[in-house]
Amino acid sequence: MTTAPSPLAGDPRFSGLLEAAHAVQPKTVALRRQLHQHPEQGLAVPRTQAAVLKALEDLDLRLHTGSKVGSVIGVLDGARPGPTVLLRGDMDALPLQEDTKLSFASRVDGSMHACGHDTHVAMLASAARILAARRDRLAGSVVFMFQPGEEGHYGAKFMLDEGLLDVADRPVERALALHITAKETSGVLRTRSGPIMASANSFTITVTGRGGHASTPSDAIDPVPAAAAMVGALQTVVTRRISVFEPTVLTISRITAGTTSNIIPETAELEGTLRTLSESSRATMLAEIPKVCAQIAAAHGCTTTFTVDAGYPVTINDDDVATRVTDIGRAVLGNDHVTAMSHPLMGAEDWSYVLQEVPGVMAFLGACPPGVDPADAAPNHSNRVQFDEAALPHGVSTYAAFALDVLR
């Protein structure tokens, strides 16, 4: 079936954007590779922050840096007053030893841009360059959000607390974040309405019994069988307490107990993650997990403690903005470079905090390496993941087109 043209096809606001993104591709690639070679983790990313400031220094932007985190915010004021649009690129890396053999591979032991945040920063910086050159076409302001600490460090929340949404003269009305992925065809933009990424909570269950000699378990209270029983029982909770139409993933990823073969330990510890696509399912599971574990422990003569982190909320795309991003993508990139996502992902994003405040979207940009089937490509968070840099102009032009559309 032939897809109808985008209702925005031929819109003069988008004329030449993709060509402009290709024109700045050398700068995009250079910044991306610089960041890739020098990855930084967490909320303090001084080298990355300095590189971003350097990349933006010749543009007509108002620049702000974070006081508690290593963030950068650039504000581009258009030629006329109007609303504010927010564009995000996250900056932090992951604790991995890179094994890609790329000429620009990480030079930092145990740290790698394995989730593509280096490409996000580079695309956003180049979008700022393109939009600065089109300042006369903007009625309003563009906020460029360069965010540290996405990988579990709540960087977006810190930036919100530091006044991210108040740096422009008028409130932010729309927001867009792009995320690159090696598991999709290069240059293809994908998004959907409603939930697009899951909430995430990590939790720890400590089971306490009474230690003793492994040859006489009757003289001890062994926490290991109790912990083992909990693993299976928690999966049953998912299937019996949560609707089949509410995707929920509970994974016990670590079990630790004991020191040697002839000792029954006093404690056993389970660590896991919970992912849901609704806050109601999340609340139900966080109430059920400690209840079930306590009852199983009691049956074995043990006790439990349950601790849980705050976790990222569900990332929920605004329906109208998602439709608009799809139309913009088709107009700028072409119908064959935009596809709908059939289902959400169970990964989590702190962009969710921004979308709780502003109507906006998370969208994915495919960057599968040339000659590789997306199904066979190393995924994000792999020490072998690679991204096709030829996809970057598609991200740059999508960012720019979104801003031009909101500030028309």
CB 282 within 8 A of CB 309: no
What's the mean per-residue pLDDT of the chain? 97
* Residue 143 three-state SS: strand
Output DSSP code: residue 300.
Answer: T
> pLDDT band for position 5 (50/70/90)?
confident
pLDDT of residue 3: 65
pLDDT of residue 2: 45
Tell me the pLDDT tens digit for each residue of 53-78. Answer: 999 999 999 999 999 999 999 999 99
Fold for the domain defined by 199-308:
Alpha-Beta Plaits (3.30.70)
pLDDT over 90 at 331, yes or no: yes
CB 117 within 8 A of CB 32: no
Report residue 381 as tokens.
């968070």
Sequence-separated (6 or more) residues with CB below 8 Å from residue 138 = 76, 77, 78, 79, 80, 82, 131, 403, 404, 407
pLDDT over 80 at 4, yes or no: no
pLDDT of residue 219: 97
Tell me the pLDDT tens digit for each residue of 91-119. Answer: 999 999 999 999 999 999 999 999 999 99
Query: At CA 102, angle to CA 339 and CA 127, rounded to 5?
Result: 45
Residue 133 CA to residue 87 CA, distance in Å, equals 17
Q: Which amino acid is at 296?
A: I
* Residue 260 three-state SS: coil
Residue 103 CA to residue 121 CA, distance in Å, equals 20
Q: Is 154 a catalytic residue?
A: no
Q: Residue ranges of the domains in the chain?
A: 12-197+314-406, 199-308
Q: With pLDDT > 70 as the criterion, what percentage of the chain qualifies? A: 99
Tell me the pLDDT tens digit for each residue of 337-354. Answer: 999 999 999 999 999 999
Residue 100 CA to residue 386 CA, distance in Å, equals 7
Q: Is 399 a catalytic residue?
A: no
**Of residues 154, 312, 353, 399, which has the active-site annotation?**
312
pLDDT over 90 at 181, yes or no: yes
Superfamily of chain region 12-197+314-406: Zn peptidases (3.40.630.10)
pLDDT of residue 276: 98
Q: The pTM is what? A: 0.94
Tell me the pLDDT tens digit for each residue of 14-40. Answer: 999 999 999 999 999 999 999 999 999
Instruction: Give the closest residue to 235 by CA, choosing from 271, 183, 276, 289.
Output: 289
Sequence-separated (6 or more) residues with CB below 8 Å from residue 278 = 195, 246, 314
Tell me the pLDDT tens digit for each residue of 244-284. Answer: 999 999 999 999 999 999 999 999 999 999 999 999 999 99
- Residue 134: how many other CB atoms lie within 10 Å: 19
